Amino acid sequence: DATEIVLELNYRSTISITSSAQTLIEYNEGRVKKGIKAFKSRGSPVALFEADDERHEAAFVASEIQRLVRSGVVKDGYRDIAVMYRTNRQSRAIEEKLVRAGIPYHLVGGKKFYERREVRDVLAYLRVIANPADSESFFRILNVPTRGIGKKTEEKLKELGASLGISGCEILGRMRKLETTRLLREEEQDGVLASSEETGRG
């Protein structure tokens, strides 16, 4: 027979938070019933804010952080404040508001939205569209998605660009022109050869 050990003591949250959480959890009828006890004191009452959308919510979070810091409610400034959310996609709106408000933050358990690989790749595409001379962004997306371009080829293109003083986009532009010229010459040669053969038959 298994021995059931119920972990009811919460060491991090205050009584106000655990009692509010318990009230919500009790609506889940399929959950094993247990009580939650707080190790800390009662603390400040839980506040409820209803936002219109994620941007409204993020603006409220940023303004509350500023209010808490300015009022001196938190002892160690921004370091005493944490923002928790359920999914990573929720971080974008919050991060944008924090950046605009000049509030420093550290993301735990993941990367900041604009530091994620897929986001940086998309931004690199947009930079190249806006400025084809941006070689750094160009070489970032050269093989994204995979196009079978190896590291050696990439390095040769970089060396060529550096030696000629041109961007990655311009290198490809010149290569296309050279390839087009070569194909046209081959077509012309094939045409001359075909004409000669027809003349010979006549």
pLDDT in tens, 8-60: 888 888 999 889 888 888 888 888 777 888 888 888 888 889 999 999 999 99
Give, to the nearest 10 degrees, the angle between helix 168-201 and helix 151-164.
100
User: Residue 200 above 70 pLDDT?
Assistant: no
Are 169 and 128 a contacting pair, CB within 8 Å? yes
- CA angle, 176 as apex, 174 and 179 as ends, to 5°? 110
**Residue 21 CA, distance from chain mean position:** 31
Of 83-87, 107-111, 132-136, 195-199, least confident by mean pLDDT is 195-199
- How far apart CA 25 and CA 22 sit, in angstroms, is 5
Q: What is the pLDDT of residues 86-119, one digit of tens each?
A: 888 888 899 999 999 999 998 887 777 777 888 8
Return the closest-CA partner of residue 142 out of 162, 165, 164, 167.
167
C-beta neighbour count of 142 within 10 angstroms: 18
- How far apart CA 95 and CA 99 sit, in angstroms, is 6
